[in-house]
Structure 1
């Protein structure tokens, strides 16, 4: 377990990191704060403690752990109090780390990732007066009912990935694309299915080949899988591998121009400027900050929450969107409008 305490007045370096991630994430502050049958009382202000328990990938994944961190930092600055990050290096640490957050009086405890779901459910049911936020899954009781003290937020990753798939399908010249996933869990599958559908909508001749690392923190294995795809004729790889995805960027960059990579969660053009095509993004930072605001003003409610294009919670990297050919931008915008309006339903499984 690694533990960091960060006061409401952020250090300059952390401010830069969080600011960059907030700008990179696709979304707005207008989404739903929470939904459900009941909630806990407010507990923000200068005495608040905003706590995040990471998954095994931890900070530095250039993905949703870092985005959640940015949202936590923003909450501490905007609402006051202290931001605390507890890093987990293995799944066995999830419950003890969450229990530690509650014992320390956390105003909101954020659990990051599908793999922490069971731990959140266990700890939340043991501490019904505490407020939790779970990213990428739903914490439920034995009857399958979402817990009232956990805001369980899932994203329509398939919608973001569909847009990324349009860009990829219009870009590939080899008509072979690789997909490197961390593990075959629901959020990763949603990325894959939406991406496949987006590619097929503009280029039905493309073959999407799929491999899984088996973990979200193994960048070397992800790099090897990407190399295999490129060696086999792919000119583009879509990574949904958490911290491991950094290995895909490393492999693409080592090969030079013409070998593309599509990222996830946030813009990652700094990792391989000549190879980055786009990212399928999620507004994790915004969700964390909005949920903290709800705790602060007493409006927090638990339950299952799903956000997608209609809520401006997912999308593609806006930092580089203007660099795409006009016809590709037009195709993405048309699909974005169809999906947000409900006219087009993207497959999730």
Structure 2
């Protein structure tokens, strides 16, 4: 048997293996199928961070990604079941108003991995939860707000008074009190995750009563602050480019550490019911204080020195920001 014949046979065998997909090659090239279900638009602050992290994984070639936005609560379970039935290995979303339905679907698809924003606990074997534990940078933005207010009055407009919002507001308030013990807060909730006009009106009412710094937990607040020429503190995303003379700083949420940890577990076949919330903390690079940008020279140097010192203590573990999930109230 000639060498050339053997070579031809080897090449033919290799070509055949490639055409049907050799097991090793298929495993190396397999992408995780991921689906996400959002009850609000992609651009909404909270959801935008999850969507951004998943789009980054898609751009790296790690996942096949499909997503649905503006899914009503009544439709959530149906969409979730469709994605699970279609063979998606990981389903991501927020279960705050559809908790029972989401957990029911997870029980019906025990081999599918679920990672959902939730105030509840993980549910074995496959329902993991996450949260935006960004109370640390929220505290730091509060310190800035306390040092920037001239009227000693800060307005705060939130979506719903649930733990995920309450803890950020409390952290912000505690930070503001550190740099300004005289500060007073006006707090209100618009009972919506995405209603910029309603948030704007609530902010106007606070500004009319003397608030000169606004905590923009929702879209619409910074618009009111811009119109009335007062300052705003952002939450979850950095909107300073849209409000260069209004938004001083923001507490940023980075969902990448949580998503990347979940994808690694799914790929390894080790995904289980866990709390991914801690991945949002500063030590995991899941949150951060935004750069001052256009306010670099407008924020007093001595104030920023205090903020940076506190930030260093948070990162080193010397200082811990209290987690308070109770509903915040107006007052001192």
TM interval, shorter chain, is 0.7 to 0.9
In structure 1, the residue matched to 2:255 is: 284
Displacement of 1:45 after TM fit?
Answer: 4.8
In structure 2, the residue matched to 1:53 is: 37
**Structure 1 residues 90 and 344, CA, compared in 2 at 3 Å: closer, same or farther?**
same
Alpha-carbon distance in 2 for matches of 1:264, 1:297:
34
Q: How does 1:105-120 map to 2 (within 5 A)?
A: 105-112=87-94, 114-120=96-102
Q: Does 1:248 align with 2:243?
A: no
- Please say if residues 278 and 321 of structure 1, whose CA atoms lie closer than 8 Å, have aligned partners that are also in contact: no
Alpha-carbon distance in 2 for matches of 1:221, 1:295:
40
- Please say if residues 146 and 179 of structure 2, whose CA atoms lie closer than 8 Å, have aligned partners that are also in contact: yes
Moved more, 117-126 or 172-181: 117-126
Q: How far does the alpha carbon of each residue in 1:283-306 deviate from its partner, in whole angstroms, 9 at most, with x for none? A: 124422442233234343331233
Displacement of 1:97 after TM fit?
Answer: 1.7
In structure 1, the residue matched to 2:19 is: none
Q: How does 1:120-159 map to 2 (within 5 A)?
A: 120-140=102-122, 146-159=123-136
Alpha-carbon distance in 2 for matches of 1:237, 1:191:
14
Instruction: Give the structure-1-normalised TM-score.
Output: 0.78
SS at match of 2:216: strand
- Please say if residues 41 and 69 of structure 2, whose CA atoms lie closer than 8 Å, have aligned partners that are also in contact: yes
In structure 1, the residue matched to 2:330 is: none
Aligned pair partner of 1:196 in 173, 176, 180: 173
SS at match of 2:60: helix
SS at match of 1:52: strand
Alpha-carbon distance in 2 for matches of 1:79, 1:130:
21
Structure 2 unmatched ranges of 5 or more = 1-26, 325-332
- Aligned-CA RMSD value: 2.2
Q: How far does the alpha carbon of each residue in 1:156-215 deviate from its partner, in whole angstroms, 9 at most, with x for none? A: 332221111011111111110001000000010001110111001110100011000011
Alpha-carbon distance in 1 for matches of 2:29, 2:68:
21
In structure 2, the residue matched to 1:227 is: 204
In structure 2, the residue matched to 1:205 is: 182
In structure 1, the residue matched to 2:328 is: none
Q: Which has the larger radius of gyration?
A: 2
Aligned residue pairs: how many?
Answer: 294
Structure 1 unmatched ranges of 5 or more = 1-42, 141-145
